Amino acid sequence: MRDHARAVIIGGGVGGASIAYHLTLLGWNDIVLVDRDQLTSGSTFHSAGLVGQLRSSVTLTKMMMYGAELYRHLAEETGHDVGWHEVGSLRLASTPERLEELSRQAGWAKTFGLPLDLISTDEALERFHGLFDPADVLGAV
Segment 107-123, tens digit of pLDDT: 999 999 999 999 999 99
Strands 7-10, 31-34: pairing kind: parallel
- The domain limits of the chain are 1-48, 49-88, 90-141
pLDDT-derived band at 38 (thresholds 50, 70, 90) equals confident
Q: How many residues does the chain have?
A: 141
State the CB neighbour count (10 A cutoff) for residue 141.
20
Would the pTM of this model clear 0.85, i.e. be above it? Answer: no
Question: Residue 57 has what DSSP assignment?
Answer: S
pLDDT at 46 over 70: no
CB environment 51-66: b (16+ within 10 A), e (fewer)? eebbeeeeeebeebbe
